[in-house]
Structures are given as structure tokens and as C-alpha cells.
Amino acid sequence: MSGCVRLKLLTFNVHNLGRADNSDARTYKTKIEYLADVLGRLDPDVAVIDEVREAGSFDELADRLGRFPHRFLGDAPPVNRKIQIGILSKLPILEHGQWREFPAALPGPDGEAMRLGFRRVMPWLRLELPNGETLLVVAVHLKSRRAAADEIPETETPRRRRLLGRSLSSLIRIAEAAGLRCLLDEAMDRKTAGHYVVLGDFNDAPNSIALSLVMGLEDEEGSELVQSEERRLFPTSWRVPAERAFSYVGRGQRHLFDHILVSQRLSLGLAAAGIESQLLEAERRRHSDHPEGYPRSDHAPVWAAFELPSRT
């Protein structure tokens, strides 16, 4: 496409980015150098950085890269693990904010809707593209698949805490996905931007309930799939070869947990997509396995490149 505007998006769970998660300065320095090298080579215009553990480390990584004049880091949660989500951007920021709460409904005699807090606050940016259009970027890190056993009363047996904890993790993740979809609907109905993208670590597979909710796919009565073209989001992973379509390895199994979902008009400009799965080390997947520190990441970066008309 001649005279086009090129845009590259990337999401990368960098696995416990912070000094406290590395036992010595050498390991920490190696981690920063590794992440900066990977991000520098992939050279995105907008990058979502998941699993930031210390704000100072996020700034240090951005400063080392030296090519992102704009950055925004979501607040740390008041409880649970102190994990933050950051966004790096070469594009000017027109507006920024954070989604802290989402609408939810739980079964019960009242059946009333309520607002719950996201386990990890979701930062968002409204950016200006070189062709004058606008892009709303929402960064996510949904509830992990790890059993939330610590949230189950200690009066229960260890086995019951594990079982109930696994169920709770799935319920939280699905509820967060549905609430995120509600917030996206509101933003799209207000015509907040010309293009929309949601990207990050969803901790779930492409065919999961959580992903289908965020994408806006509804299973109506009669199993008829209803697609709202104005609100729907489309995955970019279909452009990735099947043998590379995984971003995480756990217990010998390959999973695609990190996703880039884009609105229809943006999806029409999708030129290429990739997952740097060659960077994964199957035998070194958990930080807890390496008390001396783990300078790499247990997730692979996921990216997508677009070509858009230079002027609308």
C-alpha cells in the first residue's frame, strides 16, 4: 500500500519486572538488558508491558530503550500481588485513564448488578495516529489461572481450598472479561476513537469464554452467533503460523494466553503478526524455580503490524 501509515502493536508479559524479584544487581541488570534488546529489535509503536512489579524498573526499561517519549503505568492494586500494567508509546497521548471497576452480577435472591474492582487496574490511552485518526488502547492482565487458594477460608481442607481456588480464579477471570466488554461497549458507543485495540495477558485461550466475551461474540438462543460489527474485536493471531501460535509453555503444554484484539476497520489493515515463541524456555517457566533470579520471561512477545490509509 503506497502512501500508507504503518502501525506496530506489541504486548509482552515481562515476568516480575523489579529489583526485589532478583536477588542481586547482576541478575537484575541482565533482565533489563534482555528485555530492552527484545523490545528494541521488535521496535513497536505501542507496547503493553505486563507484570511490572516496581514503577522505577518500568521507567528504567523505558529510559534504556530511549524511543518511547510517552509512557503510562497503571496503579498497583491495594491488595493481592502488586502487579502493574504499563504502556509505552511513540504516538502522542491525547487522553489517558484507568479502568478500576466493572459491572458484574452474581446469582442470588436480589439479582442486582454491582461494581467490582479489577484485580489489576486497566490503563488506557487515546492516541493520535500520523494520519490524524485516533486509537484507543486498553491494556489488560486478567486473573491468572493459578488457584486462588489463599482466598478460601483456612477452615477448609487443603484439597478443598485448591479445588475451590481453581474455580474462583476462573469465575473472576470470566467476570472481568464480561465487565471489560461492558466498558468497551460504552467507549465505542461514545465514539471515543476511530480505532480500538485491547491487548495484554488474558490468561486464557482464543476459544475460551473470556476471549469470546471480550471480542463481543454472543451465543444467542438457537445457537445463532450474533456479531455486532461496530463493537466486535478481531484477533490478530490468525496471521501467525500454527507451529508458532503459543506465547507460554506450562507443564510441557503450549498455550496462547497473550492476545491483540482490534476493531474491524483496524483489522482490515492487518499486514503481519508474530509471536516470538523461540524465546521461551520450557524448562524455566516459573520464577519460583530459580530463587537466584530469572532474567528472562516465561511469556513470549506478541505483535501485529498494520497499514492504514495516510489520510481519511
pLDDT computed for residue 22 by the predictor: 78
C-alpha cell of residue 153:
477460608
Rounded to an integer, what distance in angstroms lies between the CA atom of residue 258 and that of residue 241?
15
Q: Which CATH class is domain 4-309?
A: alpha beta
Distances (CA, A) of 98 to 45, 125, 147: 20, 9, 26
3-class secondary-structure state, position 303: strand
Q: Which residues of 183-197 are buried (b: 16+ CB within 10 A; e: fewer)?
A: bbeebbeeeebbbbb
- pTM over the 0.85 mark: yes
Cα separations (Å) of 75 from 78, 121, 124, 149, 299?
A: 9, 6, 12, 25, 22
Could you tell me if 93 and 54 are in contact, meaning their C-beta atoms sit under 8 angstroms apart?
no
pLDDT at 219: 54
Q: What φ, ψ does residue 87 adopt, rounded to 5°?
A: -130, 130
The predicted pLDDT at position 78 comes to 80
Kindly give the parts of the chain with pLDDT less than 70.
1-2, 80, 108-109, 111, 147, 149, 218-228, 282-294, 312
pLDDT tens digit sequence for 138-194: 999 998 877 676 777 888 888 888 888 788 888 999 999 999 999 999 999 999 999
